[in-house]
Amino acid sequence: MSEYEHTCMIRGDGGRTIRAILDQICNKWTLLIVATLDQGTLRFTDLHQQIPGISQRMLTLTLRHLERDGLVARTVHAEVPPRVEYTLTSTGKSLIAPALALAGWAIEHVPHIEASRAAYEARA
């Protein structure tokens, strides 16, 4: 498939479906959580510690969404203290490669973007 056809595909059906999915996947925390879970199974607290800046609420909400969308499996162990483990499903794992592509792009272009942003602010 050519790249042009590919962009058309993005915009296929007016991009409504893609937009709806991307809107969920591509938010502030999702990619970061998925990337973190690439290590393997992790508990709630592990995630909370490894992802700096996320609140318990946002972690809970994002994990719920990921679980709902079948990207993450949630396992509750009936113990005390409770133990809840999160792990990527195969669908979740398949998101890693594209997520890395985007993250790689971001890393590569952060300096340029920040410079551009600074210049823009100075102009304004």
Partner DNA sequence: CAGGATGGTTACCAGTCGTAAGTGACCACA
Partner DNA sequence: TGTGGTCACTTACGACTGGTAACCATCCTG
| 8 Å CB contact between 43 and 85 | yes
Half-sphere exposure of 114 (CA within 13 A, CB side): 6
* Residue 18 site contact among a second copy, DNA, none (CB < 5 to 8 Å, cut-off depends on kind): a second copy
73-92 residues in contact with DNA (CB under 7 A) are: 74, 76, 80-84
CA distance 56 to 85: 15
Q: Considering only residues 39, 45, 94, 116, which one is a binding residue for DNA as defined by CB under 7 A? A: 45
46 binds a second copy (CB under 8 A): no
CA distance 41 to 112: 36
Among 17, 39, 41, 60, binds DNA (CB under 7 A): 60
Distances (CA, A) of 85 to 1, 3, 48, 94, 104: 39, 39, 12, 20, 28
Quick one: which of 18, 36, 43, 89 contacts DNA (CB under 7 A)? 43
Catalog residues that contact DNA under the rule CB under 7 A. 27-29, 43-45, 53, 55-58, 60-61, 63, 74, 76, 80-84
